[in-house]
Amino acid sequence: MDLKEKLISSFMAFEERVDVHTELHDLRTAALKNFETKGFPTKKEEAWKYTSLNAILKNDFTVFPKQENTVQYSDVKKYFLHEVDTYKVVFIDGVFSSHLSATTHEGIDVCLLSSALTKPKYKTVIDAYFNQVVNKEETLTSLNTAFANEGAYINIPKGKVADKPIEIMYLSTGNEAAMLVQPRNLIVVGENAQVQIIERHQSLNENAVLTNSVTEIFAQKRAFVDVYKIQNDNEAANLVDNTYVSQQEESSVAVNTFSFGGNMTRNNLNFYHFGEHIVSYLNGITIIGDKQHVDHYTLVHHATPNCESHQDYKGIFTDKSTGVFNGKIFVEKEAQKTNAFQKSNNILLSDKATINAKPQLEIFADDVKCSHGCTIGQLDETALFYMQQRGIPVKEAKALLMYAFSNAVIESIKIPELKQRITKIIANKLGVKMGFDL
Q: State pLDDT tens for residues 290-330.
A: 999 999 999 999 999 999 999 999 999 999 999 999 999 99
* pLDDT (0 to 100) of residue 435: 44
**pLDDT-derived band at 430, boundaries 50, 70, 90:** confident
**pLDDT-derived band at 438, boundaries 50, 70, 90:** very low
* pLDDT (0 to 100) of residue 396: 83
**pLDDT-derived band at 17, boundaries 50, 70, 90:** confident
**pLDDT-derived band at 98, boundaries 50, 70, 90:** very high
265 neighbors 241 (Cβ within 8 angstroms): yes
| Eight-state DSSP code of residue 159 | T
What are the pLDDT digits (tens) for 27-80?
Answer: 999 999 999 999 999 999 999 999 999 999 999 999 988 766 778 999 999 999
Spatial distance between the Cα atoms of 225 and 217, rounded to a whole number of angstroms: 9
Reply yes or no on whether the pLDDT at 19 is more than 70.
Answer: no
**pLDDT-derived band at 436, boundaries 50, 70, 90:** very low
Reply yes or no on whether the pLDDT at 403 is more than 50.
Answer: yes
Spatial distance between the Cα atoms of 288 and 344, rounded to a whole number of angstroms: 16
* pLDDT (0 to 100) of residue 394: 82
Q: How many residues does the chain have?
A: 438
Reply yes or no on whether the pLDDT at 373 is more than 60.
Answer: yes
* Element (DSSP H or E) covering residue 328: strand 322-331
* pLDDT (0 to 100) of residue 61: 95
What are the pLDDT digits (tens) for 101-116?
Answer: 999 999 999 999 999 9
Mean pLDDT value of segment 4-11: 94
What are the pLDDT digits (tens) for 181-225?
Answer: 999 999 999 999 999 999 999 999 999 999 999 999 999 999 999
What are the pLDDT digits (tens) for 252-267?
Answer: 999 999 999 999 999 9
Mean pLDDT value of segment 82-97: 95
* Element (DSSP H or E) covering residue 117: helix 113-118
Q: Rounded mean pLDDT of the chain?
A: 93
Spatial distance between the Cα atoms of 15 and 177, rounded to a whole number of angstroms: 25
Distance from the Cα of residue 203 to its chain's centroid? 16
**pLDDT-derived band at 20, boundaries 50, 70, 90:** low
314 neighbors 357 (Cβ within 8 angstroms): no
* Element (DSSP H or E) covering residue 405: helix 394-410
Mean pLDDT value of segment 130-144: 97
* pLDDT (0 to 100) of residue 252: 98
Mean pLDDT value of segment 160-180: 95
What are the pLDDT digits (tens) for 323-363?
Answer: 999 999 999 999 999 999 999 999 999 999 999 999 999 99
* pLDDT (0 to 100) of residue 67: 66
| Eight-state DSSP code of residue 84 | S
CA distances (Å), 118 to each of 1, 27, 276, in order?
32, 14, 35
Helix (H, G, I), strand (E, B) or coil at 76: helix
Reply yes or no on whether the pLDDT at 401 is more than 70.
Answer: yes
- Nearest CA-CA partner of 152 in 206, 204, 93, 109: 109
